[in-house]
Amino acid sequence: MSTPDDSPILIVDDEPANLKLLDKLLSGQGYTRLSCVEDPREVLPLYLRQRPDLILLDINMPHLDGYQVMEQLRALEDPLLPPIVILTAEHGRGHLLKALAAGARDYLSKPFDRTELLMRVRNLLDARRAHRSTHEQKAFLEEMVHLRTEEVVATRLQIVQRLGRAAEYRDNETGQHILRMSNIAALLAGRLGWEGAEVELMLHASPMHDIGKIGIPDAVLLKPGKLDGEEWEIMKRHAVIGAELLAGDDSSLLRMAREIALGHHEKWDGSGYPGGLAGIGIPHSARIAAVADVFDALTSARPYKEAWSVERAVAHMRDQAGQHFDPDVIEAFLSSLEEVQHIRERYREPG
């Protein structure tokens, strides 16, 4: 007695006698999952339900011939489409080539030899198992690579976020500032037509805008009063220091973070620092981050100043369009004030 084989096999033939013969022949060899179909119009829905490992298909049938059935199956673009064996009484090289071109893996002429049929069914099922195993292994490896990549990205993201918070804490600010600033920047980027992945980059890159403050001496950074000329020149170095800290990595996250760190104190009219860039010469990411950063700084209390009211800060931002700020970014900001307020409330200072 043959060893049972539970590989699902679909047999399609409009002649009941042929179906009965094939069913008896294959079940006698231990194949336990046989589906016999007379009407070729039933093949597609049955295939989708059962996903057979092998299809034995007649060519000359009413409603749909074997070529049309294969066309329907190919249209599914199933990466694991099973092998198809054509069973037909037609003879001649032309029919053979047409069947193979249509997607058949093998071809048997009726009346078929019993031993030859069983050997081909066995060989094709063995090949099918190997194909499925390779496909599953490939999918497993791709998933492992995906998970590992996600882990690396998440680790890098955590590191840069903590660096951004370290800079804020050193400046006597709380981590809430960078949460508000980065979420407002991401909101504005979306309003300005950035795609989802770019908006996500803005959200994670903008918290590092002031990372260069790590390199500013305490006597300057923590001075409670107004900075003198020399001290102000030292403070301005934080933009370049930040860019240098973030240089040397080709990831899109750190490239954008470097752009923002270097450019968020540039001004639309060219009067900013460190490069005196103007207009669209300033990276778009830095122009967006500048609006988010200044607005949140104005509306936040600091040891050296009171918090401005939202109304006063908004009026200032509007007045500075075309001077300090990119007018298009200000327009996006003004049209997003309701969402900006929600962000401020969500990440308000504790206490």
Domain ranges of the chain: 9-138, 171-346
Element spanning 10, H or E: strand 9-12
And the tokens for 127? 């090949």
Which residues are CB-contacts of 314 (< 8 A; sequence separation ≥ 6)?
A: 295, 334, 337
- Tell me the CATH number of domain 171-346, given options 1.10.8.60, 3.40.309.10, 1.10.3210.10, 3.30.420.40: 1.10.3210.10
And the tokens for 149? 């990549």
Report the pLDDT value the prediction gives residue 300, as an integer from 0 to 100.
87
Report the pLDDT value the prediction gives residue 1, as an integer from 0 to 100.
45
| Longest distance between any two alpha carbons in the chain, whole Å | 101
Q: What's the CA gap between 36 and 299, in Å, rounded?
A: 75
Q: Is the dihedral of CA 46, 47, 48, 52 positive or negative?
A: positive
118-133 tens-digit pLDDT: 888 888 888 888 888 8
Q: What is the DSSP letter of 82?
A: P
Q: What's the CA gap between 263 and 260, in Å, rounded?
A: 5
| Domains 9-138 and 171-346 equal at CATH topology level | no
Q: What's the CA gap between 193 and 306, in Å, rounded?
A: 34
Element spanning 123, H or E: helix 114-170
Residues 10/43, Cβ–Cβ less than 8 Å: yes
What per-residue string of b and e applies to 83-106 under the rule 16 or more CB within 10 Å gives b?
bbbbbbebeeeebbebbeebbbbb
Residue type, 207: P
Domain 9-138 in this protein, CATH class: alpha beta
Angle, helix 229-236 to helix 238-246, in steps of 10 degrees: 20
Given a cut of 90, whether residue 139 has pLDDT beyond it is: no
3-27 tens-digit pLDDT: 668 889 999 999 999 999 999 989 8
Report the pLDDT value the prediction gives residue 156, as an integer from 0 to 100.
67
And the tokens for 125? 């099922």
What share of the chain in percent tops pLDDT 90? 48
The helix/strand count (H/E) of the chain reads as 15, 5
Which among 129, 114, 139 has a CA at the least distance from the CA of 53?
Answer: 129
Rounded CA Rg of the chain: 34
52-109 tens-digit pLDDT: 999 999 988 999 988 999 999 989 888 888 999 988 777 667 777 887 787 788 878 7
Q: What's the CA gap between 327 and 307, in Å, rounded?
A: 24
196-216 tens-digit pLDDT: 999 999 998 998 898 898 889
